[in-house]
Structure formats: structure tokens, C-alpha cells
Amino acid sequence: MTTETVPTTRDTGPHPLDDPIRSSLRGAHSRFASWSGRIGRYDPQVAGFVGHPPTLDDRDWSDLAALVGPSAEVSLRGAHTPPAGWEVLGTIGSVQLDGTDLAVAPDPEAVVLGAGDVPRMLDLVARTEPGPFRVRTVEMGTYLGFVDGGRLVALAGERMHPEGWTEISAVCTDPLYRRRGLSTRLVRAVGHGIRARAETPFLHARADNVSAIRLYESLGFRLRQRSVLTSVRTPGRDGRR
């Protein structure tokens, strides 16, 4: 079994967090969405995420290939065996954390980041590698940061937005500014903005990023789901790898 949901009293049926990408693309992020059948994707300048049903049939694989194009790398939720001509590149473990119990607080020193800040956001992300971040990712929600002497030294923001929930993402701090609690402050501040909309924070982390998971759990996040992400490459223009 490739996906394990931790039972809670909140889980009483189909849940937006069980399919957060398609839930986001059908709702708050519909302006970024492209669809082919049951397969949805974000504008590639915004995010590389592809939403899909738990099990893909032949039509789904065809729609996915048409949507993302030839020789494209795609990450799928769960374990999958693609048709001939596709290539499985690898798998990684992932965890989904529920922030219902996150203690939130505004931070007067955190600044709102926008399109003009993208170059330095991309620079910080490239140096710290918190996860994917593209030239228009900032449009997915509110991003906050700490600036010191004109230098962006920490950031965090909002990514996927399934109904009633908002994902906290891109949590990172310049190595020279670590161990000062900046990431914790930003997670709480971003969470405060989410709660102000009567929504609930959640986040994802690599299953092997034990230190990050411990930090998030210390802030009140709790494990909701474990899953496997499968990276695949679509067939080339000639139908082969």
C-alpha cells in the first residue's frame, strides 16, 4: 500500500487533502489550471504539479502525455506502472502534516514579498533547497520574509489551496541566519494569515527530512498521511523514451 492516511475524527469521508492538487485546481487556483480529462496541471511557470486520480487508466496516461508534452518529467502521487514508452525515474517518500493545532501569531518584522522580490526569492531557494519554486510561484498565495540590510534571509509562504485548507511551503533560511528561530516565526505568521481566512494550514515534507518534521511537530503539526511520489518521464516525440 503506497498511501497511508492516519485516522482522525476529522476524516469522515473524501477529504480535500486526499487530492490537494486537483482540489486546488478546481477551486482557488483554477486560473492556473489546464485540464485533459481527469488530469489537471498548473501553469508550468507557477508550479510543476500534476493532479490525477489514484489509479490511472489508459485514457488517463494518454491525457497526461498530451497535457505535459513529450519527454517531460512528472511526479505522481502513489506507486504507478506506466505504459510502454514511459520511463520510471524513481520514487521518494513524502508526509502530509495537518496544522489544525499549529499555534499561530503575526510577526511585525515579516515583510510581504511580491513579484519584485522573485529574483532574491529564487536565489535563497536555490541556496537552501526547500523544494520547487518557480518564477510565478509567488502568485499562489501570500509569501512572507525577513530582510536584513536589503538581503532576503528567510521566507515562507502559501502554495496549494484545497477547499478549506492552505499549504505552507518554501520554508527556508539563509545558512548564516539559522538557529535564530526565523523559520518558526514565519511558519506561525503565514499560519496566522491562513487562520484569518477561517482556513487550516497543512504542509508536506520529504519523509527522510527528519529534522524538519520534528520542527513542524514541535509547532503543533501532526502526521496525517504518508505517501510515495513516483517520478516518470513521458514518451518522446517518436513514442519512445
Question: What's the pLDDT score for residue 237?
Answer: 79
Going by the DSSP 8-state scheme, the letter that residue 44 receives in this structure is: T
Classify 134 as helix, strand or coil.
coil
Same-domain pairing of 127 and 217? yes
What is the arithmetic mean of pLDDT over 24-53? 97
User: Measured between alpha carbons, how far is residue 108 from residues 16, 53, 144, 190 in Å?
Assistant: 32, 42, 11, 12
Percent of the chain beyond pLDDT 70?
A: 93
What is the arithmetic mean of pLDDT over 70-90? 96
What is the arithmetic mean of pLDDT over 187-205? 98
Question: What's the pLDDT score for residue 195?
Answer: 98
pTM of the model: 0.90
pLDDT at residue 190 greater than cutoff 90:
yes
pLDDT at residue 8 greater than cutoff 60:
no
Q: How many domains does the chain divide into?
A: 2
Same-domain pairing of 33 and 80? yes
Same-domain pairing of 112 and 218? yes
State how far the Cα of 100 lies from the Cα of 95, in Å rounded to an integer: 16
Q: How many beta carbons lie within 10 A of that of residue 217, not counting itself?
A: 12
The identity of residue 233, as a single letter, is: R
pLDDT at residue 13 greater than cutoff 80:
no
* 112 within domain boundaries: yes
Give the least confident one: 12-16, 81-85, 99-103, 136-140.
Answer: 12-16
Confidence of residue 240 (pLDDT cuts 50, 70, 90): low
Report the mean per-residue pLDDT for the chain.
Answer: 93
Same-domain pairing of 131 and 166? yes
Same-domain pairing of 140 and 68? no
* 3 within domain boundaries: no
What is the arithmetic mean of pLDDT over 71-77? 96
Same-domain pairing of 80 and 126? no
Same-domain pairing of 90 and 114? no
Joined together, the cell numbers standing for residue 44 give: 508550468
* 37 within domain boundaries: yes
* 239 within domain boundaries: no
Going by the DSSP 8-state scheme, the letter that residue 70 receives in this structure is: T
Same-domain pairing of 173 and 70? no
Residue 104 dihedral angles phi and psi, to the nearest 5°: -105, 160
Range of the domain at 89: 15-97+227-233
Question: What's the pLDDT score for residue 91?
Answer: 97
Same-domain pairing of 31 and 93? yes
* 10 within domain boundaries: no
State how far the Cα of 113 lies from the Cα of 155, in Å rounded to an integer: 9
* 40 within domain boundaries: yes
Confidence of residue 4 (pLDDT cuts 50, 70, 90): very low
* 19 within domain boundaries: yes
Same-domain pairing of 125 and 213? yes
Same-domain pairing of 110 and 217? yes
Are 234 and 81 in contact by the 8 Å Cβ rule? The answer is no
CATH number, domain at 216? 3.40.630.30
Are 81 and 170 in contact by the 8 Å Cβ rule? The answer is no
| Sequence-separated (6 or more) residues with CB below 8 Å from residue 1 | none
* 1 within domain boundaries: no
Question: What's the pLDDT score for residue 241?
Answer: 55
Question: What's the pLDDT score for residue 239?
Answer: 58
State how far the Cα of 195 lies from the Cα of 100, in Å rounded to an integer: 10
Joined together, the cell numbers standing for residue 125 give: 531557494
Residue of 208, 209, 140, 139 whose CA lies nearest to 172: 209
Q: What interhelical angle do 210-218 and 182-196 show, nearest 10?
A: 60
Same-domain pairing of 117 and 85? no
